Structure 1
Amino acid sequence: MSAVKGARTKRMPRAVREQQMMDAAVRTFGQLGYRAASMDEIAELAGVSKPLVYLYLNSKEELFTACIRREAQRLTEAVQAAIQPGLTADRQMWAGLEAFFRHTQENPDGWSVLHRQARTHGEPFAAEVARMREEIAAFVTVLIGAAARQGVPPAPGATGSNRSAELADRDVEGLAQALVGAAESLAGWANEAGGISAKEAAGLLMNFAWTGLGGLMHGERWSPR
Structure 2
Amino acid sequence: MLDAAVQVFSRRGYHAASMDEIAERAGISKPLVYLYLGSKADLFTACIRREAGRLREAITSVAEDGLAPQEQLWRGVNAFFGFVAQHREGWSVLYRQARGQGEPFSGEVAKMRRMIVETVAALIARAMAAEGVRKPAVEEDEVLALANALVGAGESLTEWLLDHPEESPEVTSARLMNLAWMGLSNVLRGKVWRPPAGPSR
- Tell me whether the two structures share a fold, i.e. TM-score over 0.5: yes
Give 1:76's match in structure 2, choosing from 29, 42, 56.
56
Q: What do residues 114-152 of structure 1 show as CA deviations (whole Å, max 9, x unaligned)?
A: 010000111110000000110111111110000011119
Query: How is 1:1-225 mapped onto 2 (pairs within 5 angstroms)?
Result: 21-151=1-131, 166-225=137-196
Aligned CA RMSD, in angstroms, stands at 1.3
Which amino acid is the alignment partner of residue 148 of structure 1?
M
* Stretches of 4+ aligned residues off by more than 6 angstroms: none
Max radius of gyration: which structure? 1
Per the TM alignment, residue 194 of structure 1 is displaced from its structure 2 partner at its CA by 2.0
Question: How high is the TM-score relative to the length of structure 1?
Answer: 0.83
Which amino acid is the alignment partner of residue 88 of structure 2?
P
2:127 and 2:188 in contact (8 A); partners too? no
Q: Within 1, Cα distance between the matches of 2:54 and 2:162? A: 18
2:51 and 2:91 in contact (8 A); partners too? yes
Question: How high is the TM-score relative to the length of structure 2?
Answer: 0.93
Q: Within 2, Cα distance between the matches of 1:73 and 1:37? A: 23
Count of residue pairs the alignment pairs up? 194
Q: What do residues 35-59 of structure 1 show as CA deviations (whole Å, max 9, x unaligned)?
A: 1111000000000001110111221
Structure 1 range deviating more: 92-101 or 27-36:
27-36
Q: Secondary structure at the match of 2:65?
A: coil
Q: Within 2, Cα distance between the matches of 1:147 and 1:63? A: 40
Q: What do residues 37-84 of structure 1 show as CA deviations (whole Å, max 9, x unaligned)?
A: 110000000000011101112210000000000000100110000111
